[in-house]
Chains A and B, each alone.
Chain A
Amino acid sequence: MDEERIRDIEIHLLLEALRLRFGYEFHNYSRASLKRRILGCLSTCAFKRISDIIPLLLRDESFHQKLILALTVTVTEMYRDPEVFKSLKEHVFPVLKTWPFINVWHAGCASGEEVYSLAILLKEGGYLDRARIYATDINEEALCKAREGVYPAGHLRQYEENYRLAGGSECLAQSCHIRYELAMMHTDLRKNMVFANHNLATDGTFTETHLILCRNVLIYFNQELQDRVLRLFAESLIHGGFLCLGSKESLRFSSVADQFVPICSEARIFQKRLEPNHES
């Protein structure tokens, strides 16, 4: 058996150890990037082989944390793909306006930049007071950052430009305190936010939602897991609620695709049908 096949077995065993020991389910993640992440983590340890880290993982609590962080790290920014936020403002906000309260779910929120991005626009539209924003992720360290809402001030120039392209009506700097090198998001943005650890691969729905944002998360999942997650979203959304995916993601692998109508194909915004689809 060649070395590459053996390495595949090692990865399988490592993921199985994570599942049996800690309940994390990574088997249905896209394997190529997961492998890169595992090898990246391995290169920071003194070990040569993937199977060498299994004994450590099973017994060392801090190493398990480190591995989970390495496997789930994500890169995000404020108003990434500004046109998506602009579309949300144009196509989704007018509908949100008609509801007495709005539950928003940011699934896979990472360090929270997009959570604040949307909250600022909701505030400008006058909807933030009746919104509750659930921001979830499996990466605890990222959730802590999201909860703090403190970002490098050096990124603000880029964010400001994105915000302008997203149709923001003020100035992003008005939504945060800048002290030294840090930009701290205003606490009033956070008052209706709930941050929680939630695993899309294993956990269920927790509330009825009106808008779900899950951007650039599905690309990391295989078709089976994508279907699971999209079924979860379909279950959580009210009829007429909205789903916003990443610009390269779609509903095509999902058994619930026919429950949704595309609202803005460029921005990957879908609306759950107002009436249940009787054919399905």
Chain B
Amino acid sequence: MNHEAIVMGASAGGIAALNTILGGIPAFFSLPILLVQHVGPQGGRTLAACLEARTPLHVREAEEKEAIVPGTVFIAPGGYHLLVERDHTLSLSMDPKVQYARPSIDVLFESAADAYGGALVGVLLTGTGRDGAHGMTRIHLRGGLTVVQDPADAEAAEMPEAAIATGSILKVLPLPRIAPFLIELAGDGA
């Protein structure tokens, strides 16, 4: 199965983990990355600026109805859920919080799983709570690839553990191995 997109979710401890992963991905990376990091209402823009400085990829706050393009990191704006439509455009919603969060990882992952089916890679990182566990299950059911940060090296183990407990996780990787794994998946390493 050729992979077409990566969705990534993180909560507590996520910024450092994202710096490591995105910092390890080269500019010619060919897959789009859609990202939910739990932040406050204005947090999306700050996060984009902060990550942009660490990675050669384009990083920006997602705009509603914009087309998903490769080699770009789209960040859910603070206070909005980020969703993927069937035609691989992005949409935003102000629906109630899911798993106490907006943006919620589950909302992004579930809609992306519906849009990309088996061509989706889900990456769930450090965090408290259990946001992302349902989303990872949906990705797995649709035939996508599920990767979780090893709870042993996650700053907050609760979220990765909740996902692993669902039985729908294919790969558990320590943080430093996630970027190389994604590069290999994208077929950009050769």
- Interface residues of chain A, those whose CB is within 8 Å of chain B, are 4, 8, 30-33, 35-37, 73-75, 216, 218-220, 222-223, 248-250, 253
Contact = CB atoms under 8 A, between A and B. Distances in A.
A32 B65 contact: no
B114 A220 contact: no
A31 B111 CA distance: 10
A250 B63 CA distance: 10
B95 A219 contact: no
A250 to B, nearest CB: 8
Given A30-B85, A248-B80, A253-B65, A36 B95 contact: yes
Interface in B112-139: 114-115, 117
B142 interface: yes
Interface string B73-111: 000010011011110000111111000000000010011
Contact of B95 (A73, A223, A253): A73
Contacts of A74: 94-95
Given A4-B117, A37-B95, A248 B63 contact: yes
A33 B91 contact: yes
Contacts of A4: 114, 117, 142
B153 interface: no
Contacts of B63: 248, 250
B64 interface: yes
Contacts of B77: 248
Contacts of A249: 64
Contact of A219 (B64, B84, B86, B96): B64
Interface residues on B, range: 20 to 34
Given A219-B64, A253-B65, A32 B95 contact: no
Contacts of B142: 4
Interface of B: 63-65, 77, 80-81, 83-86, 91-96, 107, 110-111, 114-115, 117, 142
Closest 7 CB pairs of A and B: A32-B83, A33-B93, A32-B111, A30-B91, A219-B92, A216-B94, A219-B64
Among B80, B81, B83, B91: residue with most chain A CB under 10 A: B91
B94 A219 contact: yes
Contacts of B93: 30, 33, 36, 219-220
A76 B94 CA distance: 9
B80 A36 contact: no
A31 B80 contact: no
Given A219-B64, A219-B91, A249-B64, A33 B81 contact: yes
25 contacts: A8-B86, A30-B83, A30-B85, A30-B93, A31-B85, A31-B86, A32-B84, A32-B85, A32-B91, A32-B114, A33-B81, A33-B83, A33-B93, A33-B95, A73-B95, A73-B96, A74-B94, A218-B64, A219-B64, A219-B91, A219-B92, A219-B94, A248-B63, A248-B64, A249-B64
A75 to B, nearest CB: 6
A36 B94 contact: no
Given A32-B91, A35-B114, 14 more contacts: A4-B142, A8-B86, A30-B91, A30-B93, A31-B85, A31-B86, A32-B83, A32-B85, A33-B81, A36-B110, A75-B94, A216-B94, A219-B80, A249-B64
